[in-house]
Amino acid sequence: MRTIARLAVLTLVVGVPLTGCAVPQDRLEAVRKATERFATLHTAGDFRAACALLTSAAREEAVHNGGPTCAQALADAELPEPGAIRSTDVYGRQARVELATDTYFLTSFPGGWRISAAGCTPREGRPYRCLLKGD
């Protein structure tokens, strides 16, 4: 299962186009709400609560690369201020949300959508570069 999740994130990060076509409005809204919750908590400095909205792989990677706890690693990650949502694309259990100054990738779980990568910037012809991501 973890390998499947890694492949899904890798697929998104390498730039496979996503589409919001024919996606039920409630799924789009759920992705937007998860994005807004994470952005609000992170911007407010509530890093512990923001970590709870990350996928387990993203939390593990944050601790591995940045600090003794997810909250400390997230505080040190220097994610950009996200700004307003510009577009939301959903494909199956994966989503990409482009914000004014950031891009988030999300994965759907039985308990809801979780942030699998943040602080992502596109690179022409190359995968997104993300400051925070699951392996």
Topology annotation, domain 2-8+22-133: Nuclear Transport Factor 2; Chain: A, (3.10.450)
In angstroms, the first-to-last Cα distance of the chain is 13
pTM metric for this prediction: 0.81
Percentage of the residues of the chain whose pLDDT score is greater than 70? 82
Domain boundaries, the chain: 2-8+22-133
Helix, coil or strand: residue 27: helix
Q: How confident is the model at residue 67 (pLDDT cuts 50, 70, 90)?
A: confident
pLDDT, one tens digit per residue, over 68-121 is 999 999 999 889 999 999 999 999 999 999 999 999 999 999 999 999 999 999
pLDDT at 14 > cutoff 60: no
Three-point CA angle 130, 12, 81, nearest 5°: 35
